[in-house]
Structure 1
């Protein structure tokens, strides 16, 4: 059985989501725990891959990436090797920020980030459309972002677990 984080672990992860540069000493102070305990908890959360990596969230607009497109892709063939080949190739495209294998009307959903419509056209025509197993591509363009979260709501998860446990 794998490790299941407790309330202290959830608090540590919540603090690190808010600011990944928070030191173990600062976390310990905020939680009223020892630095050693926090250090050991963080190492365990990393080893168990609850914490996968530490990142900085960048302002894409300030960096000139103003157009977000959600692009659905339907493939001609769906054999394991064909799916894997598509995934490997799509992962080499820097414009693709996220790629999800889907069920339903299409096979994959891509989140594509580019400067403008001209750059999207180049991506679509010179990269995506040239893949040999593509059947259909459809794109939706974001007009405005009304919510963007990178943090998981751990408090809600913990409350749900506690309520389920008490039933």
Structure 2
């Protein structure tokens, strides 16, 4: 179980994945060597699963973000697993959640424009056998995106 220093490390690397061990050690009031050892231990134990760069998608020409709700026709294990295997292969799908409620899956899709989304839906999503219903909501303004999580001591 992470102690107070481990939690401080996790909080800091969530804010800045490029933080140096020296900077990190100063922020958590621990010398660099034990800070480095703790960081490596947190990685090895799976608390830290990767480091990511946040990109400005609009500068990359990807101006349309869509929240897409998907219902499956058949809810048997094999059909669910097949859908999951297929949907994660689509580059346009940035996030996919199996959810409870009116729909079975919530997808976050990022594409260039409405034409690209229409192509994605008609050529890729509709090609999946078990799609029952698709409902799309188009993001107008992204008010908050925080990939970190709240860690309490």
Partner of 1:57: 54
Residues paired across the two proteins, number: 153
Partner of 2:30: 33
Instruction: State the distance in 1 between where 2:83 and 2:72 align.
Output: 9
Instruction: State the distance in 1 between where 2:34 and 2:148 align.
Output: 24
The Cα of 1:134 is off from its aligned counterpart by 0.8
Instruction: State the distance in 1 between where 2:131 and 2:2 align.
Output: 42
The Cα of 1:80 is off from its aligned counterpart by 1.0
2:127 corresponds to 1:130:
yes
The Cα of 1:71 is off from its aligned counterpart by 0.7
Partner of 1:10: 7
Instruction: State the distance in 1 between where 2:113 and 2:94 align.
Output: 15
Instruction: State the distance in 2 between where 1:72 and 1:65 align.
Output: 20
User: Any runs of at least 4 consecutive aligned residues in structure 1 with deviations exceeding 3 A, and if so which?
Assistant: none
* More displaced stretch, 25-34 vs 121-130: 25-34
The Cα of 1:23 is off from its aligned counterpart by 1.6
Q: CA RMSD in A?
A: 1.2
Instruction: State the distance in 1 between where 2:107 and 2:27 align.
Output: 39
Instruction: State the distance in 1 between where 2:33 and 2:70 align.
Output: 49
Match among 42, 46, 50 for residue 45 of structure 1 = 42
CA displacement 1:2-50 (0-9 Å, x = unmatched): xx21221111112211221212122112222122211121111112211
Partner of 1:117: 114
Give the structure-1-normalised TM-score.
0.87
Partner of 2:19: 22
Give the structure-2-normalised TM-score.
0.94
Partner of 1:81: 78
Query: Which segments of 5 or more consecutive residues in structure 2 lack a partner in the other structure?
Result: none
More helix by share: 1
Q: Secondary structure at the match of 2:75?
A: coil
Partner of 1:93: 90
Query: Which segments of 5 or more consecutive residues in structure 1 lack a partner in the other structure?
Result: 159-167
